[in-house]
A = this chain, B = another copy of it.
Amino acid sequence: MENEKRIIKLGLVQTYCESDPSQNVERNEDLIRSAAEEGANIICLQELFNTVYFCNQHDEKNFDWAEPIDGKLVQELSDLSEELGVVLIAPFFEKRTQGIYHNSLVVIDADGSVLGNYRKMHIPDDPGFHEKYYFTPGDKETGFQVFDTAFGKIGALICWDQWYPEAARITALKGAEIIFYPTAIGMLKKETRKQKKIFMDAWITIQRSHAIANGCFVAVTNRIGKEKGNKFWGNSFVAGPFGEILKQGGEKEEIVIAEIDLNSIESQRREWPFFRDRRIDVYDGIMKRLID
């Protein structure tokens, strides 16, 4: 039924982080409650939501902050999801075993059940963002996935994955109606205002392009605040299935709420039928590092 609507509300929790993880958990839980009060059905927290962005330094002690998937943190969030009847995307530093740590997220359904976890597949390592030291890249098994939640089929990727059309494409081909991107992106002290304008514009553009190419929604949560050398730029946003920005946050703490109609995906893909014409017979070059 193209004319029937499937309206849901997304809530993106954009906040700062402080050094005590329990304070961050508490504040995020309060914000989740507020988002639910505003009617949000699917709530997405930011990347590594309960810790500072510790990857700006190489420090062995930071591994202490990692949490198992089946531990207290996820249990507490699962209880909250059930209580509020919301789908929750919660990204955190995961300890899988001694010596294997991931930049992960769990997707919790509206009844509190954990539907699964995604482990960040593309790991950056750049000045101020030393992630390859901390995070093992995700395996195929927990890679690009779709979670069939009470409020729609969703995919969730993490931060640096944003820059890879392949990740969005595979997630969409698996059926994602919305792709979420919890994020921690910002500027280093030495970088200029002009650079910030170019960087943020590129960051928004590439993510809007995933909505366009795949005819699906894209929702991005990014942190705010200063932490040592980094200043995170917020600007969490939701884009519609032709890339149009539906809601966008600023650089302060806020919950970005967007009401969307999942059935607009159907009309978008009828009008601009990109999936129809993909040349899957000649895309094998994608599987190479460089075609040299």
Binding site for B on A (CB under 8 A): 121-124, 126, 137, 140, 143-144, 160, 163-167, 169-170, 173-175, 198-199, 201-202, 205-206, 208-209, 212-213, 242-244, 271-275, 277-292
Cα A160 to Cα B180 in complex, Å, equals 27
**B213 touching A291, Cβ below 8 Å:** no
Q: Top 9 closest A-B pairs, CB basis?
A: A209-B209, A165-B165, A170-B285, A173-B291, A174-B291, A122-B277, A166-B283, A163-B274, A140-B282
CB proximity of A104 to chain B, nearest CB, Å: 16
15 A–B pairs (Cβ distance < 8 Å), ordered by A: A121-B279, A126-B273, A140-B282, A164-B274, A166-B169, A166-B286, A170-B282, A170-B285, A170-B291, A173-B291, A175-B291, A175-B292, A198-B242, A202-B242, A209-B209
Q: B residues within 8 A CB of A208?
A: 205, 209
Contact of A287 among B202, B206, B243, B284 (CB under 8 A): B284
Cα A160 to Cα B199 in complex, Å, equals 27
Q: B residues within 8 A CB of A202?
A: 212, 242-244
Cα A202 to Cα B126 in complex, Å, equals 30
**A243 touching B126, Cβ below 8 Å:** no
Q: B residues within 8 A CB of A287?
A: 280, 283-284, 286-287
Known: A164-B213, A170-B282, A202-B244. 6 other contacts (CB 8 A): A165-B166, A165-B169, A170-B291, A173-B290, A173-B291, A286-B287
Contact of A163 among B123, B173, B205, B272 (CB under 8 A): B272
